[in-house]
Every structure is written in structure tokens, then in C-alpha cells.
Amino acid sequence: MKPRPKLRQRSISATTRRRLVAAVGALTLAGALAPVGAASAAPTYLYVRTTGCSDTGSGTATLPYCTIVKAAKVAVAGQTVVVSAGTYTGEVAPWHSGVSGSPITFRPATGAAVVISGPRHGFTISNQSWITVSGFRIQNTTSSGVYVSNAKGLTFTGNRVQTSGRRVSGASAYGMYFTAMSSSSVRNNVVTNNAGTGIFMAGASSGNQITGNEVSYNAYGYVRNAVGIDVRGPGNVIRANRVHHNEDSGIQLFKGGDRNQVVDNVVYANMGFTTTVQTNCTHPSTGNTAGCMTGDHGIDSSGAIGVTIVGNTVYGNATSGINVEGLTAGTTSGITIANNISADNGIRCPNGAGGTVKCPRTGGNIRVDTNSRLGTSVNFDLVNLSSPGALMVWGTTSYTTLAAFRTASGQEGRGLQGDPRFTNAAAGTFTLAAGSPAIDSANSGAPGQTTTDALGHPRKDDLTVRNTGIGPRAFDDRGAYERQP
């Protein structure tokens, strides 16, 4: 019997070998292209504890790290660093970035109180992105409590940042400092009693949301300069924050802070008392100079264009409640001011009687300086003074009635003058009582007007009040809060 030909068998074997080599090569290439430290290869959680721990260990629940600093060096996309209760002293500086939809997260263990105290910064995030930091108390840092540079996709939520820096020249510090940050969220934090501005967002920071924060009692102490929220980059949203008792203005948009939206904020009593003597300052109650009553505007737009200031409640600030200034003559501002309640601003002297500094420096519940009038729209606001003063300022002229302002400026065609009937302004409660003229009278079509108020309540029609508003809903209320009948 003739032997079988072997040529075809050899041909099949060679083809199979070529296919196998190609497949192995493809797998090798895919492995080479996979990101180092990908979330699929890493445990979901890293743990930090002050006892029974080792920074040379694995970071597991059974052998946790001793410091958040170590965990920050190790954590990669998709991992959560869970920190047990205690006080930690190191500056937390992540080494890696997360990815969209799979961030690196830092948080306390459930129910744990975690304090970061005493480092230069509590958290430093520089050239990393997609990182979430939530639930920490950051205090007594020598520089800003939180420092961010060149990052995107960050979330800071539910943190308390306090007592950064010292109130002496050369030792001041911001609560939270952001530069070149984009597409990020700073929400529901408490930023208080820092030796400088509370939240500072430098130029080149855009597309960020600053929402629901409580920002108060921030002061340099030796010079009037600490703002509650200071935004100098374009295209951000500042919404539903409570900003009060800061040394300078509550919310400030400085040159470069174009096209920002300032919506649904409650900004009051930014005439904060500090304990360091300043020039021409007298405590308004005692008359002595053991401390200094300072403060400035509620909301200040200085040199910015295209700004939206809508639906805010602005009360009892040292100088002008809503202030627009600082543009070059002939500039079209593109600024919209609408649906705000601005009351009792610029009538309480921050410098005491008899000081050489004019007191207040500027007045008016709403003030627009001479060079900022072109292209500025002011309408649907509710304004009031409970004692004599400048109600409104347009250019260089002050007006004591809304009617006079309307006639002279052509603005506030649907504006109202009257008591806003806050629930308890003295206690910082600015919800609306029955009978407020703010109820069901706003322009729901104003740019930036929201479908929910500063507390997340839906817009609601009070059936006891005739609707005098306009837009998609004729029953939106003016100011930050919607009355819930």
C-alpha cells in the first residue's frame, strides 16, 4: 500500500503555526497597551488606620496603611481609600489619576471622624484628575487647606476646611485654592475661619460647579481682603451657597471671571468682625477699637463681562448688595441682574462713626458704576431699605426710591420695592413668609433661573397669591428660596 502523501499535512501545520504566532502577538500587544495599575487588576478598597497598621504593608483591611499619604501614593483608578477615625498630620498628594467614571476616592470609614491637621496643605492635587475627596475635616494647615493645580474631573464634597494659616502678615492662607482646574465640583463643603479667602478659583479655571457650600468668617485680620468665594476664571456656576460674615465681599467675580453664573445664593452680613485693630475701624456696638468691623459687597462683579446674577438673596452687607464695576468705558457688559432680593445693604457703617474713611464706601442694594452701565440689564428684583440710605445707584447718582431709579435709568420695569418678609433675617433665615411680594412674581425665563430653589425645592404655585411673573412658569419666587405653601 502506498504511503500517504505528507505534503498537505505539513502545509496545514505551517498555517496553524502562523495563526498561533499572530494570536500570541496580538495578545502580547494588547497586554502592552493596557494601562499600568488598571482598576481591573487592583483591589477595590485600600484602608488606613492609626493602629495595627504598616506603611510597608498591603493596605488591606487586615494590614492597613498607617497614613493617608501612603495610600495616596498607591491608589489608582477605581480604588477607594477608606480612612478610620483619627487625626492625621501628613499632606495628602495623590500620585495617580483616576479616569472618567472610575475616579480615585478618598473618604472616611462609615461614621468615622477623620481630621487632617497641621501639614502645609491637607490635600494637594497637581497634574492629576478624576479624584474625589469627601467627608474630611482639614484644619490648622500652614498654607491653603486644599490646593489644586492643573486638574480636571475633581469632586470635593462634604469636607470642612477651617483655620488655614494665621492672621498675621506673611502667614495668611486660603481655605481652598484652585488654579487651572476644569470640569470639577466643589459642593456641600463648610469653609470657615481661615486666614484668607474661603474659596479662591484663579484664572484658567472653567467649567466648574461651586454649589451648596457654607462659607463664613474668613479674614486676613490685618487687612480687609478675604472674600467668601472669589472666582477669576470664566464659565463657572456659583449656585446655592450660603456666604456670610466674611471680611470683604461675599462672592466676587474679578477680571477674567467672565460668563459666570451666580444663581440662588444667600449672601448676607459680609461685614465680619475680626480681632486685629485696623485703620479707622471701630466696633459698631462697643465703640472701641479692640477689633475691626470690615466687610464689603454681597455680590461683586469687578471687571467681568457676560455675568448672570439671578435669583439670589442678598441682605445686610457692609456696602452695595449687588455691585457691578471696573469695566473700561465703552465696554458692553452683557451682564444680567434679575429675580434677586436685595435688602438693607450699605446702611450699616463698617468703620464706626467719626472715622476718616467714608462710611459706607459704596451704597445701594444694586449699584452699577458709570462704565458698567452699557449692556447691563436690571429687572424683576425686589429691593428694600428698613432705614434711610441709597436704595439704588446708577452711575454716579443714588436713588432713594425704585420709581426714581426706574425713571432715570430705564431699568427695573418689573422691579418691586417693599419688605421681602423674611422668616427671621436676624437669625439668618431668609425663607419667605406669607405675604412677601417676592412670591409668584419672578421671570422664570431669566438666564440661569432654575427649576428648583437653593434648598432643592421645586418651584411651586402659591394659590393664595395672584401670579404676576412671566416666562414658562408665572409663579416662580424672587430670591434664593421658593415658598412652599
* Nearest-angstrom CA–CA distance, 54 and 64: 6
* Nearest-angstrom CA–CA distance, 382 and 389: 16
Q: For residue 304, is it within any domain?
A: yes
Q: What pLDDT score does 42 carry? A: 74
Instruction: Show the 3-state SS of 279-298.
Output: CCCCCCCCCCCCCEECCCCC
Angle at the Cα of 152 (from 231 to 220), degrees rounded to 5?
A: 35
Q: For residue 190, is it within any domain?
A: no
**Bridge partners for 78 per DSSP:** none
Residue 254: CB atoms within 10 A of its CB come to 20
Residues spanned by the domain of 386: 196-432
DSSP structural state of residue 395: T
Which residues, at least 6 apart from 469, have a Cβ–Cβ distance to it below 8 Å? 440, 441, 442, 443, 444, 475, 476
Closest CA to 330 of 369, 299, 373, 298: 373
365 and 317 in contact (C-beta within 8 Å)?
Answer: no
Q: For residue 176, is it within any domain?
A: no
Q: For residue 416, is it within any domain?
A: yes
Q: For residue 293, is it within any domain?
A: yes
Angle at the Cα of 229 (from 225 to 231), degrees rounded to 5?
A: 95
**Tens-digit pLDDT profile for residues 240-264:** 999 999 999 999 999 999 999 999 9
Closest CA to 202 of 173, 231, 224: 231
- Which residues of the chain fall below pLDDT 70? 1-41, 272-293, 348-360
Q: For residue 458, is it within any domain?
A: no
Q: For residue 106, is it within any domain?
A: no
Q: What pLDDT score does 399 carry? A: 97
Taken in order 397, 399, 403, 405, is the CA torsion positive or negative?
A: positive
Closest CA to 392 of 404, 377, 379, 380: 404
The amino acid that residue 239 corresponds to is R
Q: For residue 112, is it within any domain?
A: no
Whole-prediction pTM: 0.88
408 and 399 in contact (C-beta within 8 Å)?
Answer: yes
DSSP letters for 133-184 = EES-EEE--SS-SEEEEEEES-EEES-EEE--S-SSTT----SEEEEEEES-
Number of domain units in the chain: 1
Dig out the grid coordinates for 269 from the structure. Answer: 452680613
